[in-house]
Structure 1
């Protein structure tokens, strides 16, 4: 059995264990791998994929190429020479880029990089902002729009919560905060208030001038931070993105849940509500687009199927 067929078997097994039937995609991919084997090819390439699908009708062409593209994104994690099929530099159909899952070391590097920002209030704002994103999975727009009034400490002194108002889909939600998070936010607020005794905005996070952080400012500052942290990307790795804090939170939450023996389907509505998704269907996207999570799920397959005959 070829290495690519082994990768395909693992891809189909893992996704089917998650509830995806993949009857037609499984057949399509088996035929595609047969085509590669017949031509002595061991790696997916753009030209080979286009050559294979070009023999089918236009409607089937797009469907089949998209199926190959999804598998190629998975295969690329095992074979770096894999080429993901594209047309005119763009993937077929709507495509969300694969999320980058931050390691603890990478998050630490970004937090350390905030210490190089000047003035110190700017460093404090970004250190606290990135820390909040890492432990809550908030969207950057949600964090920027937070006001002091949205942060509430528990009367017992054990943590607190943040109210996220009128988010991307017009929904509001309450997100719990750990005691250490509340401590960091409170310390930041004291620093901010000493710097700006007369506040010009009710915003929680402020710029060097004391105003709310704007969208353009957030993007520019994070690009500066990722450069300082040496995370600008490479030919084989995308540059770090602010939104990847959210992806990392969601994926790592699911990984911990899976490794502790938890049920994925039971966890999805909870995580979906936490993240402010319209429905759990949006949250299920992580199951098929993060190899780290696929690996955790794959490790549990023998356990999941232990009672089957």
Structure 2
């Protein structure tokens, strides 16, 4: 499945909006705790696949809704590594407005499976586990705790979210990935979705979808994911910072303006078309 609107489509909507034809004033809260509380509206949808011949676990968040009913646009993609993408894949990513690739892997992983370039896209390497012992790549409980407690990991996730915000703010798209697109990518996706206001059930379903995309078992640490691992990260955020909201603000050092920026860049009212926010 391709992204719901290409670059040209987004530009057309922006132009129409500028003429005043489409108007969608929306209240955007900067606090994110509501995403982990009992939601007033919970829509658990299947993930939207983004078909690339050279990857197994590439998808967008366009099928999801926040607890207050907003939709997520197509300016962010989660994936496994890009070492096997085809020329057609490279063209597709470029044509769909991907201008930023974020690689969350260690140096040795990048050496063994180097990303193939996407025309017009820059590559940023934010090593999540480089400060951890090599065993962290297979000791999943330790890895998922380190996602929250390790300073280098927090810096990597902070930069990832800020890059997504800045790129989407220019109506361009970011693709972020690790090796299999399930653990480091899985936590980055969980944090992003929660910050945007998606309920926990949907966040967990998105995380577990890696088992379907990779045809893997939940008890296979190399190929699959287990919900207990994701919950280890959320628990570590609560234990270390007192709440997920505090983890985002204190651990990742994201400001209310950063959170509002992410929402403005990635959310829209599905009842009003592809419309940008005007937070109050």
Q: Place the TM-score, normalised by the shorter chain, in its bin.
A: under 0.3
Q: Indicate the structure with greater helix content.
A: 1
Higher relative contact order (CA 8 A, sep 6+): 2
TM-score by length of 1: 0.26
TM-score by length of 2: 0.28
Larger Rg: 1
